[in-house]
Structure 1
Amino acid sequence: MIPSILLLTATELEQRPLRARVGDRFGDRPVRWMVGGMGAGATGVAVSRAVREGRPCLAIQAGIAGILPGTSLTLDDVVLVGSDRQADIGAWRPETGRFESFDKLPEAQPVSCPYVGALKDRFRVVAARSANSACSPLPLHGGEAVESMEGAAFFAVCRDEGVPFLQLRALSNRTGDPRSEWRIPEALERLTEGLVRLLECLPEGCRFADRLLNR
């Protein structure tokens, strides 16, 4: 039996156009779809359950994301995420009215994706941050370019379970934009095309970890 590719989205809205285009197989590989829910907690539970129910040969998280300030990204970009961290690990200090990040603690360090190197010629690779409250005024760290809500938890569970993983994001907004200016339908179109392009880049067979690491 050929192990499946797990394709995880946070919402049904994101999954619907992807599944309509890709279907339940890509070439000789079965594709297993899952809506994992929004935020770190739901994503961690969903990925753990997916691995228990049948270990995939590769897990891909696909979704929309926001552009963080100070980057050269545009709303036309589709990117792979090379590292992600949970940016809202910290505490609000009432005495100062500010958020104190715990980013120096080991538990709050970015999780790197070792599988993107072989794909850098096809996709721009960026650093990301995750926050359960999207578009929060959290301090930037380490050249982060995009913000999602689930990527850091997805990376951490896949890493700890030994499942190869990739995160693909299409950009729907800048994090300071009013919601009325978000371009979600256009981002989903780009995400769909980007996912097909990513799948076509994958090596033949299911030893994705070795092949993406050029072993």
Structure 2
Amino acid sequence: MPILVITAVTAERDAVLGGSRSWGTAGPDVFTVGVGPAAAAAGTAAALARGAYDLVVNAGIAGGFAGVAPVGSTVLADRVVAADLGAQTADGFVPIEELGFGTGGFVADSGLVTHVGDALRAAGITLAVGPALTVSTITGTAARAAELAERHPGAAAEGMEGFGVATAAAAFGVPMLELRTVSNAVGPRDRAAWRIPDALRALTAAFAALEGSLTP
């Protein structure tokens, strides 16, 4: 089955290709589309318009929420959420749905999430399953991390592309998954604590473990 993998940057693409190399001719098509939901939506739509795919996977590294997805773990999204799409008011944040202007989230196919999750765990990968939040501005304070965790119970990861990829996939009627490996904790920016090379190696390991498992 043809699989499309969308990454934001070249390092993520290379990590995915390193893990999927063992798949042989069944390996996915992997495209790098740039950072942020707009670039992700446009790049994914362009790829889907050029070829027929049975599944789209947004893959990359991300921040993990404390107590849910520690640094070095892998996150599989059961829901992809546009966490900052809405309005900021004196009474707090109002999501796009409550404004009546569309949807701010996509639910992943539960059977596919279970199947893929089982394959990852069988390979000994530390896995968290939960909402993946898409933001246009990465969280850099403890206060915002706490606010997001309160608004989205069980939130596992924060990235910048998932909702864009999901929007394009939905427009083409193709199932979508978001798979992230955690390089840092969501919260105050501490570059010294980031583990980007480790997260990229974890991404390679995750795709190596998924040979034959990405079936909608």
**TM-score for the superposition, normalised by structure 2:** 0.80
Whichever residue aligns with residue 82 of structure 2, its letter is Q
Please state how far the C-alpha of 1:121 moved relative to its aligned partner: 2.4
Q: Which residue of 1 aligns with 2:5?
A: 7
Secondary structure at 1:201 match in 2: coil
Q: Give per-residue Cα distances to partners, 1:32-79, cap 9 Å, x unaligned.
A: 12001111100000111011100212222110111124x332113112
Question: Could you tell me the percent identity over the aligned residues?
Answer: 27
User: Paired residue for 2:179?
Assistant: 168
Matched residue, 2:41:
44
Please say if residues 87 and 103 of structure 1, whose CA atoms lie closer than 8 Å, have aligned partners that are also in contact: no
Partner of 2:202: 190
Gapped regions of structure 2 (runs ≥ 5) = 121-126
The residue type paired with residue 58 of structure 2 is Q
Q: What SS does the corresponding residue of 2:118 show, helix, strand or coil?
A: coil
- Structure 1, unpaired ranges of 5+: 203-207, 210-215
Relative distance call for 1:41 and 1:99 in structure 2 (3 A) is farther
Displacement after TM superposition at 1:100 (Å): 2.5
Q: Could you tell me how far apart the structure 1 residues matched to 2:40 and 2:28 are?
A: 18
Q: 1:89–1:108: 8 Å Cα contact kept in structure 2?
A: no
Shift of 1:21: 4.2
Structure 1 position 110, deviation (Å): 2.1
1:112 aligns with 2:124: no
Question: What is the total number of aligned residue pairs between the two structures?
Answer: 197
- Three-state SS of the structure 1 residue aligned to 2:165 is helix
Aligned alpha-carbon RMSD (Å):
2.3
Paired residues for 1:14-53 under 5 Å: 14-23=12-21, 26-53=23-50
- Say yes or no: does 1:127 pair with 2:131: yes
Give structure 1 regions of 4+ aligned residues with deviation exceeding 6 angstroms: none
Higher relative contact order (CA 8 A, sep 6+): 2
TM-score, L = length of structure 1: 0.81
Compare the two structures and name the one with the higher helix fraction: 2
Distance in 1 between the 2:191 and 2:103 partners? 29
